[in-house]
A and B are shown apart, each in its own frame.
Chain A
């Protein structure tokens, strides 16, 4: 998009206004990616901020590197991968596990709406996928990227992306199907 390149030029020249336009333009997309990747709003907020800081720290190295959005997504993907390997993640995941146990106990309360329940099921199913499979799945379904674009952003090749997508979708289908069957079993009264 020529507008992005123009805005990048302005940022490089020191324009705060252009930075604001670029950030606002991509904030939600990047936040949505990170949120679905980490499954936690607060962590997603912090990581999104770090990603944008990284973007503007490295903006001078962007020139002639293809689409700005792809470059931005590559940074986001890598930043999330780094987070995954970090001590922060291990700390947060312990906390999340604890919270989820509490949430699971509370889930027996019948007032939880069905839609909310489906959302939570999808969320935990997506979160249970291995990192690389989740990554391609999110980019494909929630960001409507083409296989080739995903390969560029994740710095891999087309067949690897396809294979990860295939495996990820298969697992997701099984997990969600199992979830539905469990729900059915819960709701069917046992006849003795």
Chain B
């Protein structure tokens, strides 16, 4: 048996003394708070760590897995979108339909003007959640910022796409004189361009007013495009130009989405 040092307290004595000292020092120790690094500094650390993450063995299968993950997450994100987003864009669809049916508005120009609006307004949802709720979601520590951001953009883009397809079908059913291919070309071009631009903007601008500016710019541009002279020029433009624009915008959009996923986005969170 080991002899105990007479000056050393027994286990229970030590526990009691620790407890006593704990109570005595508790409040004073609370004063020792921490000066945490800023969000930019944390982001710098994350970027410094990136090269040390193990490299994926099969790039294609992991890329596919990332797409699957984002799609799964997008399904959940549908429930986080505000009802205002769905209602406002649903109304837009009705306005477009009645505008074409009840007045003499050129359906092609109408489609072109309205096609990207749900994406632009959807950005409000994305930016809003980034400023307010996304930090909470991030706190659940299950998804990274970029996964949430891309999932939201996927919801917005898919909804916009679905709305446009529905509008095309409705117009085609109600007015047989319309050319479906031309109609599609007229909405696909602004839709892809605006979506690509949105992905670029969403990583750079943090404030809601950026969306308001986007809507104003788009409405101004579409008013200009709705001028008879501009319509004439557009109608005489070869189809290849539209197709090329769609292709370039789609490539830029996909490239930007992959970039967001790989490199992440800088977010500002308030530190406690």
CA distance A165 to B142 in the complex (A): 36
Cβ A14 vs Cβ B31 within 8 A = no
Instruction: Spell out B's residues near A (CB within 8 Å).
Output: 9, 11, 14-15, 17-18, 21-22, 24-26, 28-29, 31-37, 41-42, 45-46, 48-50, 52-57, 62, 66, 138, 141-147, 261-262, 264, 271
Instruction: Spell out A's residues near B (CB within 8 Å).
Output: 3, 7, 11-21, 23-25, 27-28, 31-32, 35-36, 41, 45, 48-49, 52-53, 56-57, 59-60, 115, 118-119, 122-123, 126, 141-142, 159, 162-163, 165-166, 169-170, 172-173, 176
Which of chain A's residues have a CB closer than 8 A to the CB of B142?
3, 21
- A24 with B264, Cβ < 8 A, contacts A31-B37, A166-B18 known: no
Cβ B25 vs Cβ A173 within 8 A = yes
- Can you list 9 pairs linking A and B with CB atoms under 8 Å apart? A14-B56, A16-B50, A17-B144, A17-B146, A21-B138, A36-B32, A122-B28, A141-B29, A170-B21
Which of chain A's residues have a CB closer than 8 A to the CB of B36?
28, 31-32
Pick the contact of A14: B55, B264, B271 (CB < 8 A): B55
Which of chain B's residues have a CB closer than 8 A to the CB of A163?
14
Cβ B48 vs Cβ A49 within 8 A = yes
Which of chain A's residues have a CB closer than 8 A to the CB of B52?
53, 56-57
- A119 with B55, Cβ < 8 A, contacts A13-B62, A16-B264, A53-B49 known: no
Which of chain B's residues have a CB closer than 8 A to the CB of A52?
45, 49
Most A CB within 10 A of own CB, among B42, B57, B145: B42
Cβ A172 vs Cβ B25 within 8 A = yes
| Distance to closest chain A CB from B188 (angstroms) | 30
Pick the contact of B54: A12, A28, A173 (CB < 8 A): A12
CA distance A64 to B262 in the complex (A): 28
